[in-house]
Amino acid sequence: MSNDKVHNPIVGVVMGSSSDWEIMKHATIILEKFSIPFKAEVLSAHRMPDDMFDYSHKAYNRGLRAIIAGAGGAAHLPGMIASMTDVPVFGVPIPSKYLNGQDSLLSIVQMPKGIPVATFAIGESGAYNAALHVIAFFSMNNEKIRNELLNFRNEQSEIARNMKVQL
């Protein structure tokens, strides 16, 4: 799974398996909304460790400035990438078959001191919010992105203000 149509990606969106795409696509939807160039691909910590090492070590020099990594079960991908790159990693726990993603969440959030992974909620909301967090991160040095983010947040507020309770 890769979106090679995007040249010069600044965000990597990686997942341990193509089955994780149903969750991780929510990160790409928000990145596309803000016109943030990204590349999405499968990168398994357990089945392709050499590829993961290469990806991690070369991330910054390839132009990546953030990595959104989703993983389920043992969920080693975000933490392993974080241990090998200075590019910020945003972890998304993927719901698992038996423990509904709680195992993934605990695996990602319990990184040792000195190897941070910003960890988000399990599932779609986590993927969506990880991308929004990346956008907020970029908005600190980019006025155009900042204005788009402020507009997005204002739109969210207006949607909430217009909600009515049906009694």
**Residues forming the annotated binding site for substrate?**
17, 20, 47
Listed in sequence order, the residues at least 6 apart from 27 whose beta carbon sits closer than 8 Å to its beta carbon are: 13, 68, 70, 92, 127, 128, 130, 131
pLDDT of residue 6: 60
Can you tell me the distance from the alpha carbon of 90 to that of 12, in angstroms, rounded to the nearest whole number? 10
19 by DSSP, 3-state: which? helix
pLDDT one-digit tens code per residue, 5-62: 567 999 999 999 999 999 999 999 999 999 999 999 999 999 999 999 999 999 999 9
What predicted TM-score, i.e. pTM, was given to this entire model?
0.93
Can you tell me the distance from the alpha carbon of 49 to that of 54, in angstroms, rounded to the nearest whole number? 9
What's the average model confidence in pLDDT over 147-152? 98
pLDDT one-digit tens code per residue, 109-139: 999 999 999 999 999 999 999 999 999 999 9
Can you tell me the distance from the alpha carbon of 113 to that of 54, in angstroms, rounded to the nearest whole number? 24
Confidence band, pLDDT 50/70/90 cuts, at residue 1: very low
| Strands annotated E in the chain | 11-15, 38-42, 66-72, 89-94, 118-119
**Residues forming the annotated binding site?**
17, 20, 47
pLDDT of residue 117: 97
Tell me the CATH architecture of domain 11-162: 3-Layer(aba) Sandwich (3.40)
